[in-house]
Amino acid sequence: MELKSHPDVLIIGASTAGCATAESLRHEGFTGSITVLGNETSAPYNRPPLSKHVLLGEWESEKADIFTDGAAERASIDLHTDVTAHALNTAERSVSTSRGDISYGALVIATGARARQLPASVDPDHVALTLRTREDSVLLRERLENSRSVVVIGSGVLGSEIAAAARKKGCAVTIVGRSGALTLGSVRDLLTQRLERLHAQNDVELRLAEGVASITHDGTTAHVTLTSGEQLDADTVVAAVGAIPNVEWLESSGLTTSPALNCDSHGQCAENIYAVGDVAAWHDSRTGRWLPDEHQLTALQHSQAVARHIATGEKAEPPVPFFWSELYGVRFQAYGRFPAEAELVTTHGDRESGDFVALSMLDGLPHGVVASNMSRDFRQARPAVDATLSGTPAPATTTTPSTAPLGGQS
């Protein structure tokens, strides 16, 4: 397909945030030309299923595709894969790409993040796999199917999800993390005891205050040596040690990237330039800080807000962080903020071992709500969090969720 040299809106990055921005522009009634460029070779896809359904073999990876049945063409979105943006010239309003220079009316930066690799000093032969792309998930799935033992390095939510998938495949699994805790997205380490119990119930070994000194492979087995001197042998080693925003191509642009791309509280980083999704850190006027938030729903909310701004000039409120994950069939959802100084207060159920709802309370107000398997109560608590975060706290009675029966779903 021909690449337009001057689209009205140019979107760099063809994944969740970039594609959602294009679609949202059409929903907002935008009739100008939209070009989306992405440097992956495959059709755009969503990543959350990769560590869940695709890894478990429940889905072929194509089921994670974003555009199905010609949806991009129908919406007159010019989508081009296998095109890399190399540099941005804000004065000229142009992006230099692997297929030539493209000028723009408005630019949306949606280049996301990539998996952080272990340092070469620890893993010189790249024994550890990572999980970020469609290809990674297909490769890891194959490896899990042929492995008896797996070491997962990284005690964040992705490490936990990979461990859960590996257990379901029958592998013996050890998670190694150096922070001393298991973390869960925006909730950080507040649910570590619950997660430890969940992994223990599923026979996952934990080494949570251990660094990795070295990883070697003897041709048959990988050997992971921990800083304590303990050696773990495994058929497969996976590193889930975070993500790095893809901002290097913006180095000469003058935009602030530290480490994500700083924007105002509506996603704008310069005149006619916006950033959405994992690459972006939107300004939070409450804390005065730029807050990166590498979660799927945040990427979607960024996209809707920026699309509305471009299409109508209307500035939407910055999104409230919303995160979910699923481990061993337990669905965790978290909405709002969980600052270190807040106290987590259980309002329903049993946080240590069962289904629950808990509020992140600071100065007597709920700043966040987290739940496992109690979607209805979780939803009912959200308006109180919205009220706190928007600076219009609701009366005290509405900050407590309803007393619906435990496990209430809808």
Ligand X SMILES: Cc1cc2nc3c(=O)[nH]c(=O)nc-3n(C[C@H](O)[C@H](O)[C@H](O)COP(=O)(O)OP(=O)(O)OC[C@H]3O[C@@H](n4cnc5c(N)ncnc54)[C@H](O)[C@@H]3O)c2cc1C
Residues binding ligand X (CB under 6 A):
12-18, 37-40, 47-48, 50-51, 84-85, 110-113, 131-132, 158, 246, 249, 277-279, 294-297, 299, 323-325
Rounded to a whole number of angstroms, the minimum distance from the CB of residue 321 to ligand X is 9
Shortest CB 187 distance to ligand X, Å: 12
Q: Tell the smallest beta-carbon distance from residue 138 to ligand X (Å).
A: 12
Q: What is d(CA 14, CA 329) in angstroms, rounded to the nearest whole number? A: 30
- For the CB of residue 51, give the shortest distance to ligand X in the complex, in Å: 4
Comparing CB distances to ligand X, the nearer of 54 and 212 is 54
In the bound state with ligand X, the residue whose beta carbon lies nearer, of 156 and 393, is 156
Q: Which one, of 69, 68, 63, 67, lies nearest residue 36 by Cα?
A: 67
Question: Judging by DSSP bridges, how do beta strands 343-349 and 356-362 pair with one another?
Answer: antiparallel
Question: Based on CB atoms, which residue is closest to ligand X, 251 or 317?
Answer: 251
Q: How far is the CB of 370 from ligand X (least distance, A)?
A: 13
Specify the residue, 16 or 399, whose C-beta has the smaller distance to ligand X. 16
Q: Which is nearer to ligand X, 132 or 367 (CB)?
A: 132
Residue appearing with tokens 């998670």: 175
**CB of 363: closest distance to ligand X in angstroms?**
27
Exposure letters 245-255 (e unless 16+ CB within 10 A, then b)? bbbebbeebeb
Residue nearer to ligand X on the CB measure, 43 or 226: 43
Q: Which among 1, 3, 19, 6 has a CA at the least distance from the CA of 94?
A: 6
